[in-house]
Amino acid sequence: MRIIVQKFGGTSVASPNVRNLVVNKIVQAREQGYTPVVVVSAMGRKGEPYATDTLIDLARSGYRGIAARELDQIMYCGEIISAVVMTSVLQAADLDAIMLTGGQAGITTDANFTNGRILKVDSSRILTLLKMGKVPVVCGFQGITADGEFTTLGRGGSDTTAAALGAALNAEMVEIYTDVDGIMTADPRIVTNARILDIVSYNEVSQLAHQGAKVIHPRAVEIAMQKSIPLVVKSTFSDAPGTLITNITKEGPEVNVVSDRLATGVTFLPKIAQLKVTLDPATSHTESYKIFKTMADNGISVDLINVHPGQVMFTVHEDVAEKALANLGKQGYQAAVLYDCAKVSVVGGGIHEVPGVMATFIEALSLYDIPILQTVDSHTSISVLVKKDDVEMAVKALHEKFGLAD
């Protein structure tokens, strides 16, 4: 069997017309000799009746702080509704489709509600169904714990379901169908002349995704990479070939596509708060340990870290900023906080080898008078913290300056 996993995102299943395009993609895969396994996300985007955001708002209308376990039970419904509707459309097209929840598809997760991690995939039920000629339509984004609790996999997690099923079933390929023609050098909603990347490595995409490119979930990339399963990101709405994510270039195996590209793309992560604690320079090294230990003990992840004699500076997601401040307060530290920040990054496998990249980066932002609040670089990325209102301009300026435009 040449198994292919085809995942359709929210906009790809949002209306009857679009669902017919999905049927075409599945029929085409079968005509090409593939045995498809379909994965679907909840229907539509924010504001639409059965979208995940709508279900979250509904649950929070009782109490904003509703527990994660209960939030998962309502989020679970979005993918169930979508999979049932899609199964019905496929049955109408004479395909022997069968709907499966994440649990029924064999996906076991830990009990980390709203951000569950897949622990195991038992593919036996899907394999039996495939041998019977059926088309499984699996609810993305969900799993079940060993104790039978329903869980979800983190926002955007239907991609993770598709990659995990692809790995467990030894699929020839995993296709991620969405509303853009592939992975681009920047979010096309911000940069109108962003370019489609036709081939990229798992590492590059994983970096782009971690730094905010929402087009694919980073965990999906990491799972596919472990088993070297090719991922293709493409559009439900066109016949464009999309972006192939792999470790292999067209020249042959073992040639890593990362190595020769200076910049692959520009991304951003919104909703960041910057925390600054002033310390006595004489004791600041032991004090800074205490500060980061407090964050770790309270499960708060920190980013953009600068430690100097007399000062510690770092960022956290805005949602946990209050918690961070409260816990620092308990330890006797008064932190200054700056809300409404965002981290803008240029990602590229070759970035560390080239002199002058930081100068180019800063020049791009200075051309538009964009204040830089903090910087950080790694092997594959350079990032800066800027104010929320400067994000769009910063992304556009960097995209232009690094020659990524079409």
- Residue 212 interacts with ligand ASP (CB under 6 A)? no
Determine which residue in the list 157, 218, 242, 348 makes contact with ligand ASP, applying CB under 6 A.
157
Judging by DSSP bridges, how do beta strands 243-246 and 199-201 pair with one another? parallel
Shortest-Cβ-distance residue relative to ligand ADP: 9
Determine which residue in the list 157, 265, 348, 349 makes contact with ligand ADP, applying CB under 6 A.
265
- Residue 155 interacts with ligand ASP (CB under 6 A)? yes
Binding mask 136-165 for ligand ADP (x = CB under 6 A): --------------------x---------
Determine which residue in the list 52, 109, 246, 284 makes contact with ligand ASP, applying CB under 6 A.
52
- Residue 22 interacts with ligand ADP (CB under 6 A)? no
Q: Is 27 exposed, middle or buried (0-12, 13-18, 19+ CB in 10 A)?
A: middle
Q: From the list ligand ADP, ligand ASP, Mg ion, none, pick the one residue 183 interacts with, judged by a Cβ distance below 5 to 8 Å according to partner type.
A: ligand ADP
Least Cβ distance, residue 24 to ligand ASP (angstroms): 21
Determine which residue in the list 136, 156, 157, 166 makes contact with Mg ion, applying CB under 5 A.
156
Q: From the list Mg ion, ligand ADP, ligand ASP, none, pick the one residue 141 interacts with, judged by a Cβ distance below 5 to 8 Å according to partner type.
A: ligand ASP
Distance of CA 85 to the CA centre of its chain: 25
Helix axes 218-226, 202-210, angle to 10 degrees: 160
Q: How far apart are the first and last CA of the chain?
A: 40
Which window, 101-109, 152-160, 205-213, 291-299, contacts Mg ion (CB under 5 A)? 152-160
Least Cβ distance, residue 156 to Mg ion (angstroms): 4
Asked if residue 171 lies in contact with residue 229, where contact means CB atoms within 8 angstroms, the answer is yes
Q: Which CB, 187 or 287, lies closer to ligand ADP?
A: 187
Asked if residue 302 lies in contact with residue 292, where contact means CB atoms within 8 angstroms, the answer is yes
Binding mask 334-363 for ligand ADP (x = CB under 6 A): ------------------------------
Binding mask 186-215 for ligand ADP (x = CB under 6 A): xxxx-----------------------xxx
Asked if residue 230 lies in contact with residue 173, where contact means CB atoms within 8 angstroms, the answer is yes
Least Cβ distance, residue 40 to Mg ion (angstroms): 12
Return the structure tokens found at 357: 């990249």
Q: What angle do CA 91, 2, 142 make, to 5 degrees?
A: 60
Place of tokens 């979800």: 152
**Which residues are bridge partners to 343 per DSSP?**
269, 385
Least Cβ distance, residue 235 to ligand ASP (angstroms): 16
- Give how far Cα 188 sits from Cα of 98, 112, 181, 364, 399, Å: 35, 33, 10, 19, 11
Sequence-distant (6+) residues with CB within 8 A of 189 are none
**Which residues are bridge partners to 244 per DSSP?**
199, 232
Q: How far is residue 159's CA from residue 40's CA, in Å, rounded to a whole number? A: 9
Q: Which residues bind ligand ADP (CB under 6 A)?
A: 9-12, 41, 156, 178-180, 183-184, 186-189, 213-215, 265
Q: Which residues bind ligand ASP (CB under 6 A)?
A: 9-10, 41-42, 52, 78, 140-141, 155-159
Q: Which residues bind Mg ion (CB under 5 A)?
A: 9, 156
